Structure 1
């Protein structure tokens, strides 16, 4: 089995996130990731968050989880971050599907979830590579996202150096949304890792009605 793209679900999540993120400056990233997670019908969405980080991305992922009837898990480093996160996200969206987990160290918390099919980490945080390596990905495939990719705390980042042996990379892409989104689509279990091939892709374009910016979603 494998992840299957649903344009209809992606569009619904995108529109709902636009409505939920009207007051957030970072809404472009939130809308894009919400549509991407929902479009891939992600059932277990995991993200990392630290006190002081913007909350818009979390709102978008919570919206996506509602549309896929999945779980949205946010891993935070301490109890103060948990309190701030819960207060912020509840003020923006009704997030019954969101679970907030305190993880110290972070990789142990990530390892506690099996079948992750959508994961978002912040490249500005030193632990983001460790979190990616620790994730137990779904056998159906997964989409991994590094946000703030132009502000990485680790130099020379390569997906091939992060993903384990035998992981099959279907496609990777860097998009100039926000401070950069570095995205990789990992195929279903089985087979050897393969390099990204140049082949025709389908793109869905969304225009931010407030800023006029064009955002693109890639599909298989």
Structure 2
């Protein structure tokens, strides 16, 4: 994932997602996530989905992958979920690569994830974030349905193993849809000095999660 933002690519993905999601109820989150994934030129986009889940965000990710020329993969738990997911996408004229099975097993073959979306309504969503093999230049991680997540004690630092060479660069909660909790995780061994360049960075303590968040000004 290149750390250069493309407003043009993000804007196009945003507009296309609006077009595809016009009949979907929660397209606000879909448009935002699509613009983020496209704007950061994400090459490997991974999401998790299960039966009867909302599909608008998925549409946005498919659209984003088309604009970046990257790969989009959806991981589902069973065959019924796969068929349901593809039926939803087919209804708006889209298709996707879907992998069926236990997330830990499936994602072991996906290396270099630079944009990932998980559903906070699944009890194992934190484990999914920990298992993901992120890109060498870092990754953007998104938890959807964050306002109704099953774990109220979730903190982004819990995603990083003790002794990890990755850093939580920035995190933010956005009250879009049912809530989006977003974090940027640095690349392996990427120091704060290398990340900040000529910019000014400050540290803030999130009193809700007790996490120290690094913010660029």
Q: Deviations over 1:107-165 (max 9, x none)?
A: 22122200000000000111211111110000011000001111111131011011232
Which residue matches 2:121?
A: 124
Which residue matches 2:85?
A: 85
Which residue matches 1:177?
A: 176
Which residue matches 2:196?
A: none
Give the structure-1-normalised TM-score: 0.85
Q: Displacement of 1:188 after TM fit?
A: 2.3
1:22-171 map, 5 Å: 22-95=22-95, 98-104=96-102, 106-164=103-161, 165-171=164-170
Which residue matches 2:197?
A: none
Give the structure-2-normalised TM-score: 0.86
Q: Displacement of 1:198 after TM fit?
A: 3.7
Once residues 53 and 93 of structure 2 are traced to their aligned partners in structure 1, the CA distance between those partners, rounded to angstroms, is 17
What secondary structure sits across from 2:59 in the alignment? Answer: helix
CA contact (8 A) 2:42 2:115 kept: yes
> Which consecutive residues of structure 1, in runs of 5 or more, have no partner in the other structure?
201-220
How many equivalent residue pairs? 197
Provide runs of 4+ in structure 1 moved above 4 Å: 192-195
**Root-mean-square deviation (CA), in Å?**
1.6
Which residue matches 2:9?
A: 9
Once residues 91 and 68 of structure 1 are traced to their aligned partners in structure 2, the CA distance between those partners, rounded to angstroms, is 23
> Which consecutive residues of structure 2, in runs of 5 or more, have no partner in the other structure?
193-202, 204-211
Which residue matches 1:210?
A: none
Correspondence 1:186 to 2:190: no
